[in-house]
Amino acid sequence: MLREFRLPDVGEGLTEAEIVRWHVAPGDSVKINQTIVEIETAKAVVELPCPYEGTVSALMAGEGQTVDVGAPIIAVEDGAGGDGAGGGGAVAGREALADDMVPDARNGAPAKEQRQPVLVGYGVKTSATRRRPRKPAASAGVDAGVRAAEDVPATQDNGSAVSTRARALAKPPVRKLAKDLGVDLTTLTGTGPQGSITRADVETAVAAPAPVPAAARRESGAREERIPVKGVRKATAQAMVTSAFSAPHVTEWLQVDVTETMEAVRRLRTLPEFAEVKVSPLLLVAKALITAVKRHPMANATWTGEEIVVKHYVNLGIAAATDRGLIVPNVKDADVMSLPELARALGELTERARAGKCQPAELSGGTITITNVGVFGVDAGTPILNPGEVAILAVGQIRDMPWVVDGQLAVRKVTTLALSFDHRVVDGELGSYVLRDVGAMLEDPLRMLAWS
């Protein structure tokens, strides 16, 4: 029996997905729950298992094709009955139907040539017959054999004829020489009587190297590249536009001396609890933000329009740049994790994000986000809120800077924090408290213990 597997909704309200890569081909044997295809949704790349066991009869969508949810993507012959001819016949029938719909000139039904519609002001202009310009009389003192070059009429937008060439004076032998050598007389400056062009002028023009146009000097290759906006990039663009023009963003900045944080990171790396996990400054930034929103819960909320929903749990989002675009997976219940657990969760989440293996559940339900712009070598930025959240923290690069410590100038490790927040929920005072608390804990990590 031939069975068709239809594209399922693997996320919340998925409507379509792109076929990224097939793991099987027609004729292959498949088992139940065997991975058969990778699809890209608006949030992530997801592997789909096969619900049937049998032999692949046909792939009904190609790689790179966008398919609607519910559309068949693969046909599997499960061996329960029939020889698969029905499925093949259905496919052949569809192909035959498609052929019938195309006019065939060999069958005496040539396709009609459709007239291309012309928009007003953009159509092809019909050329009008124009009288050839009269030759000007020869100027006094100029040889009677010298005549003016004919104007070449051009059509302006209003249909009038104008001359696009300057008049060039040259004798017939000079004109023939120029024609034979491929020289445009209108580009030369004559040195003869009354500015007429001489044989020497033409020969000089041929001997001089012609300037190479800039376009010719450009290396070969496409001058433009067009990248389709789809998948993760399309979803990110829509989300950012929605966020930027629906939530009133406010951003505050704070420079912080993180010398003690960097020392704490160094010491944590030597502890056996962190032997198999990556310890980076981001770990302590995450812990500081989690602690700050525990102290100020309104920064961990959602605006619905009718009410403010305050979350008493922290699903910590980490913005990750991937080959397919920016995604924001989140660590569920990060607020109840120990520091080693949080370090492990952050490391695993980052690896899955970069590999495009995050599941849809990891890309939804976030409550507050961190974006680490310092990894790109910049000091800070003005982050845009992840839709549904009311605060996002940007962390800049950590670098040596002159800093005053106990009245003395010293070189310290300094970073810049930028907190953007939704002013409908978080006012300036609350936003300042959250940012100040994060900065204070990074200046002195012991405060995390005191405030946790």
Which residue, chain included where needed, has tokens 């790689």? 63
Measured in residues, the chain has a length of: 452
Beta carbons of 430 and 281 less than 8 angstroms apart: no
- The answer to whether the CB of 45 falls within 8 A of the CB of 5 is no
Q: Are 443 and 258 in contact (CB under 8 A)?
A: yes
Q: DSSP strand E in 367-446: where?
A: 368-372, 391-395, 399-405, 408-422
CB–CB of 397/381 below 8 Å? no
Alpha-carbon radius of gyration of the chain: 36
Going by C-beta distance under 8 Å and a sequence separation of 6 or more, which residues neighbour residue 390?
247, 298, 299, 300, 301, 302, 303, 368, 421, 422, 424, 425, 426
* CA angle, 98 then 104 then 108, to 5°: 140
Cα–Cα dist 375/440, whole Å: 22
- Residue 371 backbone class (left: φ over 0; alpha: ψ -120 to 50; beta: rest): beta
Is 423 an annotated catalytic residue? yes
Residue 153's DSSP bridge partners are 163
Long-range contact pairs involving 148-154 (C-beta distance under 8 Å, separation at least 24) = 149/185, 149/186
Q: How far apart are the first and last CA of the chain?
A: 61
77 to 21, 59, 83, 100, 212: CA distances (angstroms): 21, 12, 8, 28, 64
Q: Which two tokens stand for residue 290?
A: 């989690």
Q: Pick the catalytic residue from 23, 249, 296, 423.
A: 423
For residues 397 and 378, the answer to whether their CB atoms sit within 8 Å is yes
Q: Which positions are catalytic?
A: 423
